[in-house]
Chains A and B, each alone.
Chain A
Amino acid sequence: MDLQTLTYIVVGATFALYIGIAFWARAGSTKDFYVAGGGIHPVQNGMATAADWMSAASFISMAGLIALSYGGFGGSVFLMGWTGGYVILAMLLAPYLRKYGKFTVPEFIGDRFYSRSARAVAVICLIICSVTYVIGQMKGVGVAFSRFLEVDYDTGLYVGMTIVFFYAVLGGMKGITYTQIAQYCVLILAYTIPAIFISLQLTGNPLPQLGLGSTLIGTDVYLLDKLDMVVTDLGFKEYTTNVRLSSINMFAYTMSLMIGTAGLPHVIIRFFTVPKVRDARSSAGWALVFIAILYTTAPAVAGMARLNLIDTLSGDDGQGLVIEERPVWFQNWEKTGLLKFEDKNGDGRIQYSADKETNEMVKIDNDIMVLANPEIAKLPNWVIALVAAGGLAAALSTAAGLLLAIASAISHDLMKGIFTPNITEKTELMASRIAMAFAIAVAGYLGLNPPGFAAGTVALAFGLAASSIFPALMMGIFSKIVTKEGAIAGMVSGIGVTLFYVFQHKGIFFIPGTAFLGDTPANWFMGIEPNAFGVVGAIVNFAVAFGVSKVTAAPPQEVQELVEHIRVPVGATAAYDH
């Protein structure tokens, strides 16, 4: 059977599965819609959280980011940053927010800071973070379709939107949760199977995590030593020690991703779905187990794919790949524009090097490291088809989680909470479905007409969550003295400083030419690049909030009691139905 037919069958089967789940797990109440009835088992929730969390960026782009753009060791910021956030989540946020026991993140901020304005500010921060993030997922869906199924980008996007529409509008959090469990299984198989094959081919060790530290098959040279040698021969920095800009920058980058992870609303609300406070603690651990399977495999994929690629490019005699003899997969990916060469010296061979003047591989897209991996390793067609289904599962599951966070902020926080508090549960459920459909339409529109700043959006979403929502939640739980004025001023200044810093170096709304301070390390504050600035915004947020709280009237007694209440697990069920 040819690859195209096989890909259609595998992707079609997974889509049928998702729609089937949507009909089976329809939401009957707002509690079903917002928190899946609060009855999800912690291991299941962990799996759903993992799928929710691992986006198109994790699945398709991360290995390439590590291997190519961040040159090896520098890419560790993603590995540590996107996993270490769960430690913060499990200890500092999830159990207390679960004990609080309501439906949304702005709802907690509104209650704890006894202010509808605080809730509204939180809704705005949430929508800014989630919308910037969802654009990237919609693009991921379109791209995955167009590359694997050879339909055009727009058609792919419409198909993706329809599928999400089915299970998210019908099932709300309940439908999304069970679909995400299925999507996790698809994406993790699709990621690990090629990795295992490649690890076996290169090192004879079936576990990629161990393979990366092993010797190459038939030699006593370690894989990483060989990799260090070949990249330095080409003029790149040594793979295993290549620091991203500076240690301070790597520190700030990792910290921004960690606290951004802990502050992203679509991740936090997943912990509202488990029955008990202690489930929230262990569920974060399960989520990280499922995430770690991919995140410890990714660096192996990165190192091995880089080695394979260099090996292919150096040709049989090490003098460069003869253009006429380049492999079929190479030609296929040239068509998509992900690979591009230019025979500058006209010798009929491709020479790859770090020197821009003589390098003839003018384009190697990061995504190629995962997408072309099975072909480079000559794996059977069904594995390639599975990778297509895995990439789509990763993008769809994250999009659905983000859309739910947006929809519930609109129907539960803005409508029920602020503008029309008297609506019945039935009306609210209808409103949340409409809000979901609306959010899908907006996300789809932005996917079809990506704004100029789409490329920088995922990193920006983390910076914004890190500088606005995370500090507000921390102060809400760990301090009784932070006042509503303090919290609002903190959120506004934290997100403001971060946006300002990003805009001054990257352009106002990323419009080229409006960056009034150039995007060069010389102009960066302490050498911290804009993507890593969320942590500084968070520090500003904390400082402003405590400063303002000192000069405003202390929070009322019942708020101090609320803080006492959420710190102790018992009594969560009583607080639950409201």
Chain B
Amino acid sequence: MSPLNEQQAQEYWRRNLSLMIRCLVIWFVVSYGCGIILADVLNQIQIGGYKLGFWFAQQGSIYVFVGLIFYYAKKMGDLDREFGVEEE
């Protein structure tokens, strides 16, 4: 089955989870944080015609989401290779 022994499997999973949690924190901050909870505060700042909170809610969060997925995919690819569990 898995080419990893129990300890390696645990380490691989732990590193995956920690990467995942870091990404999800950013995911939460840009949408729920900047786009909803802090929107009023950020709206005091204006970039071009966009109030910043409004921009995060209707534009910025979506761009960050796209970036996050590719970042996660890239980092997981690296992790897979490090543990020798990548697909050929």
Contact = CB atoms under 8 A, between A and B. Distances in A.
Contacts of B73: 90, 278, 281-282, 285
A383 interface: no
A514 interface: no
Contacts of A567: 9, 12-13, 16
A456 interface: no
A45 to B, nearest CB: 14
A131 B1 CA distance: 39
A270 to B, nearest CB: 15
B86 A278 contact: yes
Interface in A63-115: 73, 75-76, 79-80, 83-84, 86-87, 90-92, 95
B18 interface: no
B72 to A, nearest CB: 6
B61 A571 contact: no
A568 B85 contact: yes
A255 B28 CA distance: 10
Contacts, number: 150
Contacts of A79: 57-58, 61-62
B68 A87 contact: yes
B20 interface: yes
Given A277-B87, A278-B80, A571-B2, A285 B57 contact: no
B57 A80 contact: yes
A288 B66 contact: yes
A366 interface: no
Given A212-B50, A254-B31, A278-B77, A247 B36 contact: yes
A397 B32 CA distance: 31
Given A281-B76, A285-B69, A240 B63 contact: no
B70 A224 contact: no
Given A80-B62, A84-B31, A91-B20, A570 B51 contact: no
Contacts of A289: 66
Contacts of B20: 91-92
A250 B37 CA distance: 9
A299 interface: yes
Contacts of A222: 48-49
A287 to B, nearest CB: 9
Interface in A278-311: 278, 281-282, 284-285, 288-289, 292, 295-296, 299
Contacts of A277: 87
A499 interface: no
Interface residues of A, number: 53
Contacts of B3: 570
A565 interface: yes
Contact of B49 (A86, A224, A564, A572): A224
Interface in B21-71: 23-24, 27, 31-32, 35-37, 39-40, 43, 47-51, 53-55, 57-59, 61-63, 65-66, 68-70
Contact of A251 (B1, B2, B36): B36
A523 interface: no
Contacts of B58: 73, 75-76, 79, 296, 299
Given A76-B58, A222-B49, A278-B77, 9 more contacts: A80-B57, A84-B61, A91-B24, A215-B49, A222-B48, A224-B50, A289-B66, A296-B59, A561-B1
Interface of A: 73, 75-76, 79-80, 83-84, 86-87, 90-92, 95, 209-210, 212-215, 222-225, 240-241, 247, 250-251, 254-255, 276-278, 281-282, 284-285, 288-289, 292, 295-296, 299, 561, 564-565, 567-573
Interface of B: 1-4, 9, 12-13, 16, 20, 23-24, 27, 31-32, 35-37, 39-40, 43, 47-51, 53-55, 57-59, 61-63, 65-66, 68-70, 72-73, 76-77, 80, 84-87
Among all A-B residue pairs, the 6 with the closest Cβ atoms: A222-B49, A76-B57, A285-B69, A281-B73, A299-B58, A213-B48
18 contacts: A79-B62, A80-B57, A80-B62, A83-B61, A84-B27, A86-B65, A87-B65, A91-B23, A91-B72, A213-B49, A222-B49, A278-B77, A278-B87, A282-B69, A285-B73, A299-B59, A561-B1, A568-B2
